[in-house]
Chain A
Amino acid sequence: MRAVRCCVWEITLACNLRCGHCGATAGRARPGELTPAEALRLADDLAALPCLEVTLMGGELFLRSDWQAIARRLRRQGVELVLFSNGLLLDPRVEGAGERLARVRDLAPRTVGVSLDGATAAVHDGQRGLPGALARAWRAIDSLNEAGVRVSAVTTLTRRNLYELPALARRLAGRGIRWQVQVATCNGGRMDPGQQLTSLEFYWAGAWLNLARQKYDWVALPVAGAHDLGHHSARLGNLLPPGCAWQGCTAGLDTLGIQSDGGVKGCLSLPDRFLEGNVRRRPIGELWHDPDAFRLNRHFRPELLGGDCAACPHGPTCRGGCSDLAQASSGSPYDNAYCFRRIERSWGV
């Protein structure tokens, strides 16, 4: 039996922002998004997989009117819940935010993720394309905090906000906010290729994160890199959460992504050629337990590795690092230029 540890479910692609780095090009709802009845059915099917945790996101999840019904259905069956939002509709100055906040609190999610893409309004608002977005995100974070809901911040790195990390750390430290730093990729999406980090900018991010982990106690600033933030470095320490070691991309192994139209991928970050099917045509239980599905990682063979990854001793377990980032850097999920080890070796370390 194979459990899903983490399912990320985009319940709608409708969004009230048009962020410059959005990999999903969110804005309008997808054609043919799941109906409320289909969504509830999917929630039941997910719980039965079993699935331990579901992250509901968008687009902007609060733009889907039955978000609460879906969340409640999952929660009632013992599924842990994470909500991921841009925070705009949780800003207490927005009409209905108080009621929305009370609903969020009643659902007792493990955490509510809010995107923070900069320390300064110029950078955050610039990346998100909306003046005042940063102030509104912070008001959302503060009101979640006051309501006793655990908040996580997620920062997606681009050329624009890379050097804001130290200032952002100052703002986040000591507030009990878990902070995930991840790298924006350019696999289709709205992202301008010029905004993608160079491999050395990527290394700078790793070097700073490494410093921050030494400087701040985990309790004071629980900051960690996402699965795409470099692996097997000879110079930098562990950037994943304490105690975690990199064990390769988990898409389709214990991670699952679901699009608002019912499309299923091992991970939502992967490009569309990794679509495994649609829950409308095949129930998720059947798809997930099909031994021939999710071949990207389930049917991995070291011979598939390309470039420097083919010769790397970590290849068989690392499988080319984050498949999405690998794909963006080389066109193959098994050949990754965004690799600390590869960068270090190319600079003679």
Chain B
Amino acid sequence: MTTVYIGCGLDHRPGAINLDRYELAGADLQADALRLPLASDSVARVEALHLLEHLGYAGAIYALAEWRRVLVPGGRLLVETPDRGPACRAAAEPDPPAPALHWLFGLPLPGYAHHSLFDAADLRAVADRAGLDTIEIETDGRERPVLRFRARKGTGLQAELLARLHTGFLAAGILDPLAAPPYLADLEPVCDAIVAAIELLPRDGAEACLAGILGAAARRDPRAAEVAFELLIARGLLPAAPAAPYLALARTLAAEAFPARQAAYLRQQPTLPGSQAARLRRLEDHVSLYLTARLHPGEVALDPLRREFEAATAELSAADGEITFFCAGSVADLARRETARGVRAFARGRLERAGGHLGAAAAYDADNALARWNLARLALARGRRLEALEHYAGLLELMPEAAVALSAEMDAATGRADGALATWCRPVEREALP
């Protein structure tokens, strides 16, 4: 019977199906570990060495569920991954050698960073959720401490449901556990609610079970209820007739797709100002490890992770600061010059020209409050009330503490104190803002 070796890299096993997602590996099959191009119940053995730590906790559950799918009943799984405790302690030594840090953090190359580190209890928990029965977890290696995890395809109903829910969610495209932030990839409460509802089915009846599942799923993503209903009907656990209106309702809710669209939005690159977005991306790996550290505060040795994270953050924000300072210096000068020109034109009643200069100033430096203020006044002078309101909103966003100082002119602009409008249709020249 076949063995599949997932994430083989350049280490090909004779006799096994070697599989890797990168073309460079020259594997027998090029595929994603979460979507194996293999039939269900077709493989005797799955091996994945040093892959799980790259997938994140959510990704690990979905990957294990997918590997379980292809295993024949009774099929075996072997997984090897760094042992978190000893790996952290080694990295916590003063001046840790580079290999100790790499064992913990992965390599600083795209795709090689570690996103999740396990101890035996974590591994067992993750495997449970993927419907695998743990056989044994053995620790090995001094310089490179590993956990060697052996499991078998679980057979109970709960194991089967959990595994098939995860593969079902993935197949339905509800989420991408590798790309989504961890809290979005978390459909585990929904899985729990479904398993609990099925357990209580004999006691509570089909309607309560259906309503419970729909209720639990709909808030996170109604498509999860759709997947669950289809699975439970196909599996003969729920009769199709009473389920039909609930399935229809799940589909209606899914078509509105509020949670899904929200998730899709969140998956986009953060639309933060350039340098901040880049920093977030670079910090991602550190953040996931920092989270590991926070999730397991008992392990004092994880302290260095925190320091590492903080140092990386400080370093990056210092670099950011320098870049911003470097660019901002010249750009802010330009903005100040344009503002001064705009104010002069405004004072001479050349409103159009003033608008050009002030607009340029705001474009050079969105944080130039004087330009924003004069743009608001100019809009008032030109009778463009809504534009004025937008500039006042922007001005107050730049300096929230000026709310009281600005309220008189904003009241004129919003019609609260209409008579006073003419007072504010002139430029502000002073640099000293309220």
Please pick, from A78, A163, A242, the residue contacting B262 in the complex, using a CB distance under 8 A. Answer: A242
The distance in angstroms between the C-alpha atoms of A57 and B226, with both chains bound, is 31
B294 contacts A by Cβ under 8 Å: no
Q: Are A78 and B400 in contact, with the CB atoms below 8 A? A: no
Write out, one digit per residue, whether chain A residues 311-349 have a CB within 8 A of any chain B CB (1) or not (0): 000000000000000000000000000000001100101
Chain B residues with Cβ below 8 Å from A220 are 272
Contact partner, B393, options A110, A164, A211, A217, Cβ 8 Å: A211
Asked whether, in the complex, the Cβ of A78 is within 8 Å of the Cβ of B193, the reply is yes
- By the criterion CB–CB under 8 Å, are A80 and B271 in contact? no
Whose C-beta in chain B lies nearest to the C-beta of A161? B403
Cross-chain contact A80 with B215 (CB below 8 angstroms): yes
Contact A243 B264 (CB under 8 A): yes
Whether the pair A200, B389 counts as a contact (CB closer than 8 A) is yes
Binds B, one of A8-16, A18-26, A58-66, A202-210: A202-210
Point out which of A1, A48, A200, A235 has the most chain B C-beta atoms below 10 A from its C-beta: A200
Expressed in whole angstroms, the Cα–Cα distance for A170 and B401 within the complex equals 11
Is A37 located at the chain interface by the 8 A CB criterion? no
Shortest C-beta distance, A167 to chain B (Å), equals 4
| B63, CB-defined interface residue at 8 Å | no
- A interface footprint on B199-221 (CB within 8 Å = 1, 0 otherwise): 00000000110011111101100
Interface: A181 (CB within 8 A): no
Binary flags per residue of B299-330, CB closer than 8 Å to A gives 1, else 0: 00000000000000000000000000000000
A344 / chain B contacts, CB cutoff of 8 Å: 386
Q: List the B side residues contacting A110 at CB < 8 Å.
A: 219
A235 interface neighbour in B265, B390, B410, B415, Cβ under 8 Å: B390
Minimal beta-carbon separation of B197 from chain A (angstroms): 7
User: Which residues of A lie under 8 Å from residue B62 when comparing CB positions?
Assistant: none
Instruction: Tell whether B414 is near chain A: CB-to-CB under 8 Å.
Output: yes
Expressed in whole angstroms, the minimum distance between the Cβ of A165 and any Cβ of chain B is 8
In the complex formed, the residue of B with least CB distance to A48 is B211
Q: Tell me the bound Cα distance from A253 to B229 in angstroms.
A: 25
In the complex, what residues of B have CB within 8 A of residue A52's CB?
Answer: 214-215, 218-219
B179 to chain A, nearest CB (A): 14
Docked pose: A242 CA to B389 CA in angstroms: 24
Q: Is the CB of A159 within 8 A of B390?
A: no
Q: Hey, which chain A residues are within 8 Å of B213, CB to CB? A: 78
Interface residues of A (CB under 8 A from B): 1, 3, 5, 47-48, 50, 52-53, 77-80, 110, 119, 159, 163-167, 169-170, 198-201, 203-204, 207-208, 210-212, 215, 217-220, 235, 241-244, 343-344, 347, 349
Q: A167-B400, A212-B397, A217-B270 are in contact. List 13 more A-B contacts (CB 8 A).
A: A1-B245, A78-B212, A163-B396, A166-B400, A198-B416, A199-B415, A207-B390, A207-B392, A208-B397, A210-B390, A218-B266, A343-B386, A347-B386
The residues of B with any CB-CB pair to A shorter than 8 Å are: 181, 193, 197, 207-208, 211-216, 218-219, 245, 248-249, 253, 257-258, 260-262, 264-266, 270-272, 384-386, 389-390, 392-394, 396-397, 400-401, 403-404, 406-407, 410, 413-416
Q: Which 10 A-B pairs have the closest CB atoms?
A: A243-B261, A78-B212, A78-B215, A167-B400, A208-B393, A166-B400, A200-B414, A242-B265, A163-B403, A207-B393
